[in-house]
Amino acid sequence: MEVKARAPGKIILSGEHAVVHGSTAVAASIDLYTYVSIQVHPSTENDDRLTLQLKDMALAFSWPIGRIKEPLSSLGGPFPSTPTSCSTASMKLILALVEEQNIPEAKISLASGVTAFLWLYTSILGFKPATVVVTSELPLGSGLGSSAALCVAFSAALLACSDSVNVDMKQQGWLIVGESELELLNKWAFEGEKLIHGKPSGIDNTVSTYGNMIKFRSGNLTRIKSSMPLKMLITNTKVGRNTKALVAGVSERTLRHPDAMNSVFNAVDSIGKELANVIQTPAPDDLSLNAKEEKLEELMEMNQGLLQCMGVSHASIETVLRTTLKYKLASKLTGAGGGGCVLTLLPTLLSGTIVDKVISELESCGFQCLIAGIGGNGAEICFGASS
């Protein structure tokens, strides 16, 4: 039987960096997904294998089940209903399994994702032979939560295979997962994220699991429901950046200019709260929808100015801003800055011709453009033929 799962990426609508200093931030899911399909094979005597295919990169990794079972049998899985952290000892054993696959040097950043896969697979499904196929609409390592979407999609598909998820398997198409199952898969996904990121904030996997939007401040997450359609152009500058160095840079600037920077963080906090309000308040007609879009554009522009004030912009981001400004569109960087992705709000009444023009101008600068609906569903699963 084939089980599929998909999990969305995320954007930070407001508050990146400032959230580290106590400001409100707002994150939202985007309708760009990572897909995981699992085909569990009937067990045979000799030829049982676990295979992981990363289709987008034309890479495949494969282990004889015995090769995995031998070192990892101590893990004691399957224990899908009680997520645990990966011990240092298990981690070492898994890393050895990953290493023997000889991942090409240029793709070595995938190793941590493969590690998370092996950990989640054996922990949730134990040692069943299977073929797992991954595809994704999310660019990797550009701040759109690709690793969290991967961990959520893995967890969702694995839990569905383990029968821990309670859905009607006869239903067609993508199925929303129930609340208690979402909580379980979010916990597993977080454990996977830890193997990739060390100390993840938990924001990315939570947004990818539950979808919609999340307001967070000082470690408290509040799920909020958008009451307006929202579409963004996401421009991937393809400029790699060092998130840790950028976060440290903001902290150093805060030490040098405490008064000014604390006022800046207060401003970001106000913007986050206001943005959450605008998004949650129902718009009874088109007129008020346009007014709300204009408010969001203004808040995005303000947040971008404050991010520039924190010193996390980049020449590539400025190029995107300058280009979209020509078309009177509001943009802000999303995530760590210093490259990465830039959001541009696409108002409901904006003509497709303008969108095409902006995109072709941005692509001519070497950037990658994606259009995404904001605040859609989180993790979903699908049995048999996919939609």
The residues annotated as belonging to the active site are 204
Judged by CB under 8 A, the residue of 264, 333, 369, 379 near a second copy is 264
DSSP bridge pairs for 25:
216
Residue 357 interacts with a second copy (CB under 8 A): yes or no: no
367 in Cβ contact with 25 (< 8 Å) = no
Contacts of 149 (CB under 8 A, 6+ apart): 7, 8, 9, 10, 33, 34, 136, 138, 204, 208
- Which range touches a second copy (CB under 8 A), out of 117-125, 205-213, 270-278, 361-369? 270-278
Minimum separation from the CB atom of position 254 to a second copy (A): 11
* d(C-alpha 32, C-alpha 146), whole Å: 10
Binding pattern to a second copy, positions 290-329, x when CB under 8 A?
A: -----x--xx-xxxxxxxxxxx-x-x--xx-xx--xx---
270 in Cβ contact with 218 (< 8 Å) = no
155 in Cβ contact with 120 (< 8 Å) = yes
- Burial class of 87 by CB neighbour count within 10 A (0 to 12, 13 to 18, 19+): exposed
- Which range touches a second copy (CB under 8 A), out of 51-59, 94-102, 145-153, 254-262? 254-262
DSSP 3-state percent helix, strand, coil across the chain (nearest 5): 45, 25, 30
Binding pattern to a second copy, positions 151-170, x when CB under 8 A?
A: --------------------
Q: In this complex, which beta carbon is closest to a second copy, that of residue 146 or of residue 304? A: 304
CA 10 to chain centre: 4
Q: What is the DSSP string of 227-264?
A: -S--EEEEEE------HHHHHHHHHHHHHHSHHHHHHH
Tell me 289's DSSP state.
H
Judged by CB under 8 A, the residue of 172, 263, 277, 348 near a second copy is 263
Minimum separation from the CB atom of position 298 to a second copy (A): 7
Which residue, 328, 261, 331, is CA-closest to 299? 331
- Is residue 10 within a helix (H) or strand (E), and if so which, with residue range? strand 2-14
Minimum separation from the CB atom of position 356 to a second copy (A): 20
Residue 92 interacts with a second copy (CB under 8 A): yes or no: no
Minimum separation from the CB atom of position 382 to a second copy (A): 43
Minimum separation from the CB atom of position 74 to a second copy (A): 53
Residue 259 interacts with a second copy (CB under 8 A): yes or no: yes
Instruction: Identify the three-state secondary structure at position 323.
Output: helix
Judged by CB under 8 A, the residue of 260, 277, 366, 387 near a second copy is 260
Q: In this complex, which beta carbon is closest to a second copy, that of residue 307 or of residue 381? A: 307
* d(C-alpha 13, C-alpha 43), whole Å: 47
Minimum separation from the CB atom of position 360 to a second copy (A): 18
Number of chain residues interacting with a second copy (CB under 8 A): 36
Q: Which residues bind a second copy (CB under 8 A)?
A: 253, 256-257, 259-261, 263-264, 266-268, 270-271, 274, 295, 298-299, 301-311, 313, 315, 318-319, 321-322, 325-326
